[in-house]
Chains A and B, each alone.
Chain A
Amino acid sequence: DTEVTQTPKHLVMGMTNKKSLKCEQHMGHRAMYWYKQKAKKPPELMFVYSYEKLSINESVPSRFSPECPNSSLLNLHLHALQPEDSALYLCASSPRTLGLAGDASTDTQYFGPGTRLTVL
C-alpha cells in the first residue's frame, strides 16, 4: 500500500480566512513533504519534515505554517493568503531509510492526490 491521503480535495478561501490542509500516511514513512504546483509547472518543494522535525523550509512566506503532530500526519495551516497562492498543494512521503549510495529504491517519494486551492 503506497497511499497518501489529503483533505480537502478542493478549497476556496478568502484572503482573510484561516484554513488547514491535512495529509496522512500509514506506510511508516519518516519523511513528509509539502509541495506547491502551478498549472503546467513541476512541483515546487515548500517544507520537509524528517522524523517529525522540520528539516527544510524553502523560504516559504509565513502565511504558510506547517505542522507535524505525529509520524503519520502533516498539516499546512493557511492564513491571509494571496490570490497568487492558488495552486495544487501536494503532500508526499518517503521511507527515508538508510541504504547504499545509488540505490534509488532507498527513498522514493509517494504523492497524495493534492488539494486544489483557490484564493479569492
Chain B
Amino acid sequence: RKEVEQDPGPFNVPEGATVAFNCTYSNSASQSFFWYRQDCRKEPKLLMSVYSSGNEDGRFTAQLNRASQYISLLIRDSKLSDSATYLCVVEPSNDYKLSFGAGTTVTVRA
C-alpha cells in the first residue's frame, strides 16, 4: 500500500465552480500535512499546511481527519489560474522525509 494515495483526476470544472478532493495516508503517526501545487514543468509550491482543526486561506480550505486518515482540499469559486496538479504531502515521522501523493490534476475551463 502506498503511503499517500490521491485520486489522480483529472477534475475538469467550469470557472466559478467548487471542486474538492481527498488524499489518504497510511501511517497513523503522521504529524505534518501539506498541500502543494505544481504547474507543468515547474517546481512544487506550498499552497497550505493542514492543521488538525482545519484551515482556510482565501478560496482554499483544507481539512484533516485523523480518525479516517485523510486530508481534503476544497477550492471555491475556481479560477482559470487554479489549473494545476495538487500534491498531497505527508511527513510520516519527524525525520525530514516527505511522502508525496501522485497528484490530483485540476483543469478549470472558461
Please give the residue numbers on chain A whose beta carbons come within 8 Å of chain B beta carbons, in ascending order: 2, 31, 33, 41-43, 45, 48, 50, 55-56, 88, 90, 94, 96, 101-114, 116
Contacts and interface: CB of A to CB of B under 8 A. Distances in A.
B46 interface: yes
A42 B103 contact: yes
Given A111-B43, A113-B43, 5 more contacts: A33-B96, A41-B102, A55-B96, A102-B31, A114-B43
Contacts of B98: 45, 109
Contacts of A42: 87, 100-103
Given A31-B96, A33-B96, A43 B32 contact: no
Interface in B68-87: 87
20 contacts: A2-B46, A31-B96, A42-B101, A42-B103, A43-B100, A50-B96, A56-B97, A90-B44, A96-B96, A101-B31, A102-B32, A102-B52, A104-B32, A104-B49, A108-B34, A108-B49, A109-B98, A111-B43, A111-B44, A112-B43
Given A41-B102, A45-B97, A45-B98, A106 B43 contact: no
Contacts, number: 58
Nearest to A113: B43
Interface of B: 31-34, 41-46, 49-52, 87, 91, 94-98, 100-103
Contacts of B46: 2, 108-110
A46 B97 CA distance: 10
Nearest to B103: A42
A119 to B, nearest CB: 18
Contacts of B41: 88, 116
Nearest to A110: B46
